[in-house]
Structure 1
Amino acid sequence: MWRSVVSSSERTLRMADPTVRPISAADITTWDYEADVVVAGYGIAGVTAAIEAARAGAEVLVLERTGGWGGAASLAGGFIYLGGGTPLQKACGFEDSVENMKTFMKAALGPGTDDTKIDAYCEGSVDHYNWLVDAGVPFKESFWGQPGWEPPYDDGLMYSGGENAAPFNALVDPAPRGHVPQMSEKKTGEQGGGYMLMKPLVETAEKLGVRAEYDLRVQTLVVDGDRVVGVVAKRYGKDVAIRARKGVVLAMGSFAYNNEMVRSNAPRIFGHPAASIEAHDGRAIQIGQALGADTAHMDATEVAFFCDPQLMVRGILVNGRGQRYIPEDTYPGRIGQATLFQQDNQAFLVIDEAAYDEGMNAESSSAQLRAQPTWVAETVEELEAEMGLPAGSLQSTVDLYNRHAAEGSDPVLGKKSEWVKPIVGPFAAIDLRGRTGGFTLGGLKTTVDSEVLHVSGAPIPGLFAAGRCTSGVCAGGYASGTSLGDGSFFGRRAGISAAR
């Protein structure tokens, strides 16, 4: 079908993968499939790109490496980060503004955010919500206000990024922006709100005439001069060539399951992928790089913290020196990042018996993350010794916390007064060391119109990308919903751009 020339020096590089190199269109003898726009990946970025390209009049073909649509999105909790005054926010009694949303995202998702992308995302957020609703995505007009990773029921709105916790609640007026598609009988990791996001979008794409081919694993790009004109994929070991008459959209996910890429770029989560799928092997990034594409924030990662927030808010989190380091009522992903990045993955939850019992009986979407106490003692001094902490360290931490908690305040870290109570005996501690995992946030550098940028700064003709294979609105920090929100928002723009 084509020829590939590999030098002898290249053959000696065992770690090199020559199959990511682009192939000249002149070397393709037969095109197995053709379409105006070819979309690689049928997750959230792929389906929204397909819809918009089809609405723009393009013939669209989606290539999916697995046997069905969905990707990581269909297994996710389903948060879409939206704000600026969406109809759902208003229905639940919350006011929000585009400027407040921008301020929060630039503060919480940095350092080094792409402010042009965040501005576009926030300014288009209400329209994006309406677009999703028009495509059949259901949202229940109810708010879940308890701590947690996601609502345990079918509520449509929740705080999902620490907006109502210190330090952000003093920066701008907080508003919940975690929008969740309505889903009954949710099973986390199997069928959550993400399924009810993907299902109506795929149905919308199918009604528009979008075609899909499954079990096709994209290998590399096909170029005609400096323009991308197709892809080469494999199906059951056979090479398949697919021509794109107008453009190719890469929407193939992150590199969380590519050990070499993680080791090289984001080593702190090496060996601990979470909230991702094995199909996220970084191939889209590699084939883009082989064409000279630029990347950004390849070291950035989301970090999950494996403890039920209903327990965390009722105790205090301390590090390996017995000191508090973060308000316990903030977004648990923010706790995960602080624990892994700043505390050497060392964390313990100190809690008293009454608070522990209350937390264990609270409604939660993550009851599976609850744990029995590792140590129990009648005094803080005894607990400190059993935990192996420096003498006096935990005692001074609890004394200081209790002194202010007696007045319902936390001037040290700013935990909200509703969760601030003195810790009284008997005491317990849960060992949370190493209880983190995550996925990568960096990827191909793109414009606000989802054009993939060459290292020279110019767009690569015919190549577009969206979703977790790109560097989106998150540069370092994270809020639940920014992956599905970013992927769907810029996926739409990728489809529009490619159809041109």
Structure 2
Amino acid sequence: MLEAGDLGSADVIVVGGGNAACCAALSAREAGARVLMLEAAPEELSGGNSRFTGGGYRFAFNGIDDLAELMPDLSEAERETLDFGSYPESRFFDDMGRTTNYRTDPELCEILVTKSFETMAWLRGKGVRFEPSFGHTFKVGGRLKFWGGLACVVSGGGPGLVEAEYKACAEAGIPIVFDTSATDLLLDPDRRVRGVRAVLRGRTVELAADAVVLACGGFEASAEMRARYLGPGWDVAKVRGTRFNTGGGIRMALDAGAMSYGHYSGCHSVGWELNAPPFGDLAIGDQFQKHSYPLGVMVNARGERFVDEGADIRIYTYAKYGSVILKQPDMFAWQIFDAKSIALLRGEYRIRQVTKVTAGSLEELVGKLDGVDAEACLREIAAFNRAAISDRPFDPTVKDGRRTIGLAIPKSNWARPIDTPPFEAYAVTCGVTFTFGGVKISRGAEVEDVAGRPIPGLYAAGEMVGGLFYHNYPAGSGLLSGSVFGRIAGSSAAAHARARASAAAPSPSPSAPAMPSI
């Protein structure tokens, strides 16, 4: 186990232990810098939110040939039976725009999209393995059709991603110091960053470096900061991932004069198992999520539907519907399905740790929904069933336009009557994934101060970066952001460290010739 005295000196310190931090560290090391990573969690809980993800990446690609670069093990049979389609940059830009109400920072969005494929290839070169994202497919005409632009997932999901990146860091000679929280940035009198103060397993230490990359997450694990920025009720929301993302990096940057930036009252939040623990459970990973709601209806304690379950393909709505559930009475909802949809439910509905009821009739089902006005719920489902039209075929692979008519809250797609037994219902609440507010960075991932000037030696990546996501986000773009801006931050930090070392090197005496290189 490393101690402070064993760490030696570093050119670049990376604060954090997840995907963004690993990408920053690997990029800085690739550029020749001596790198040290500080991870607040103990080793068995390390990896930040990245370890809790499903490992899905969103990136631009033009077809199967691009994907074969990332998944060279694709067989000829798979090429014939898997319909990946394409996901051009133009569509990625459109998805980023519409999901964020066109508030996404244009410069950051451009970097995210245009650097997406090359970053994926870079990750592949670092040993991260990808496989087809079978969780985003439906069978159409004998072929598996991938939808929503999500073609690849990391082999082994989030744990597989962290394992591969930690292995790459070890091979590159990058030490990771676990159970060590950075608490403050060390600044020169001219406000240049010169290292960090940290608590190393209960002992305060100061670690010098020419550049620091903050890649230690948002404030989603801090009840106090959630209530302060997201609003009332958010302090009691469940946290999907790590308990260690408590906003420390954001606070350190703001204390150093950084500009706060982005949607501080917004976050990624989803429908989450009602009785899940307060923080993520690595044994369960992301399987507490419940994302098949477009196939059924959701009702609150009053027995009322409260959201358009079919507004869009779920990868464009799931990250904002958690906040809608939080606003319901007692902060919960029930997702209801009938036999026509049960076979299509995602795998997360079949784990043991679910709050679930089943029944042979709707009357019996609504009577089993804890906390719900059963009579009102039965009336609501009956009204929904009458309003669901059947003028076109049901197609879960596209927005099929099969809708309701005449309801105050419509269902715009995939509206089929809930009328075929058996019936199932699942209880959900809000699960917070990550927060959208952070700090302002330049194109080179430099943290900018309140006047828009880079803070010398300070860089940020991952959830620390504000301005990319507002209100919502397209699935898979969070991991991509961590990789894209982590890679940029590491490269920029290494270049800054080289420049500082060069400026600090003594000039040769004019009376003596410079020593030749050996």
1:112 is aligned to 103
2:120 is aligned to 129
Retained in 2: the 8 A contact 1:379–1:425? no
Retained in 1: the 8 A contact 2:85–2:146? no
Q: Distance in 1 between matches of 2:377 and 2:415?
A: 25
Q: Distance in 2 between matches of 1:249 and 1:34?
A: 16
Q: Distance in 2 between matches of 1:284 and 1:451?
A: 14
2:343 is aligned to 358
Q: Deviations over 1:186-228 (max 9, x none)?
A: xxxxxxx112222222222333332333332111011112211
2:31 is aligned to 56
2:91 is aligned to 100
Q: Distance in 2 between matches of 1:383 and 1:65?
A: 43
Retained in 1: the 8 A contact 2:298–2:307? yes
State the one-letter code of the partner of 1:40: V
Q: Distance in 2 between matches of 1:128 and 1:157?
A: 25
1:344 is aligned to 327
Retained in 1: the 8 A contact 2:221–2:246? yes
Which of these residues, 174, 188, 198, is aligned with residue 162 of structure 2? 198
Output aligned runs, 1:300-319, within 5 Å.
300-306=266-272, 312-318=293-299
Retained in 1: the 8 A contact 2:132–2:151? no
2:54 is aligned to 77
2:500 is aligned to none
Which of these residues, 176, 190, 200, is aligned with residue 212 of structure 1? 176
2:67 is aligned to 88
Q: Distance in 1 between matches of 2:422 and 2:326?
A: 23
Unaligned runs of 5+ in 1: 1-29, 148-155, 164-175, 184-192
Tell me by how many angstroms 1:128 deviates: 1.1
Output aligned runs, 1:4-403, within 5 Å.
33-68=8-43, 70-85=47-62, 87-88=66-67, 92=82, 93-110=84-101, 112-141=103-132, 143-146=134-137, 159=147, 163=148, 176-177=149-150, 179-183=152-156, 193-224=157-188, 225-245=190-210, 247-267=211-231, 268-296=233-261, 297-306=263-272, 312-318=293-299, 320=302, 322-323=304-305, 325-328=307-310, 330-331=313-314, 334-335=317-318, 337-338=320-321, 340-341=323-324, 344-345=327-328, 347-352=333-338, 354-355=339-340, 358=343, 364-368=347-351, 369=354, 371-373=356-358, 376-378=361-363, 387-389=374-376, 393-401=380-388, 403=389
State the one-letter code of the partner of 1:364: G
User: Aligned in 2, Cα 1:121/1:335: closer, same or farther, shift over 3 Å?
Assistant: closer
User: Aligned in 2, Cα 1:39/1:374: closer, same or farther, shift over 3 Å?
Assistant: farther
Are positions 1:473 and 2:468 aligned together? yes
SS in 2 for 1:389: helix
Give the count of matched residue pairs. 432
State the one-letter code of the partner of 1:77: G
1:16 is aligned to none
Retained in 2: the 8 A contact 1:302–1:477? yes
Q: Distance in 2 between matches of 1:261 and 1:489?
A: 27
Tell me by how many angstroms 1:105 deviates: 1.3
User: Aligned in 2, Cα 1:433/1:128: closer, same or farther, shift over 3 Å?
Assistant: closer
State the one-letter code of the partner of 1:236: R
Q: Distance in 2 between matches of 1:115 and 1:31?
A: 43
Q: Distance in 2 between matches of 1:310 and 1:475?
A: 20
Are positions 1:410 and 2:415 aligned together? no
Identity of aligned residues (%): 24
Retained in 2: the 8 A contact 1:450–1:490? yes
Q: Distance in 2 between matches of 1:389 and 1:194?
A: 41
Tell me by how many angstroms 1:431 deviates: 6.6
1:186 is aligned to none
2:398 is aligned to none
Retained in 1: the 8 A contact 2:357–2:426? no
Tell me by how many angstroms 1:250 deviates: 0.7
State the one-letter code of the partner of 1:300: G
Q: Deviations over 1:250-291 (max 9, x none)?
A: 111121122221110013532223222111111101111111
State the one-letter code of the partner of 2:477: T
Which of these residues, 456, 478, 487, is aligned with residue 451 of structure 2? 456
Unaligned runs of 5+ in 2: 70-78, 139-143, 274-288, 395-400, 405-409, 496-518
Retained in 2: the 8 A contact 1:41–1:65? yes
Retained in 1: the 8 A contact 2:271–2:325? no
Tell me by how many angstroms 1:380 deviates: 11
State the one-letter code of the partner of 1:486: S
State the one-letter code of the partner of 1:315: G
Q: Distance in 1 between matches of 2:442 and 2:247?
A: 20
State the one-letter code of the partner of 2:59: L
State the one-letter code of the partner of 1:41: G
User: Aligned in 2, Cα 1:426/1:238: closer, same or farther, shift over 3 Å?
Assistant: closer
Q: Deviations over 1:112-146 (max 9, x none)?
A: 21121111111111111111111111112464444
Q: Distance in 2 between matches of 1:63 and 1:99?
A: 38
State the one-letter code of the partner of 2:154: P
State the one-letter code of the partner of 1:492: R
User: Aligned in 2, Cα 1:217/1:309: closer, same or farther, shift over 3 Å?
Assistant: closer
SS in 1 for 2:317: helix
Are positions 1:439 and 2:414 aligned together? no
Retained in 1: the 8 A contact 2:133–2:153? no
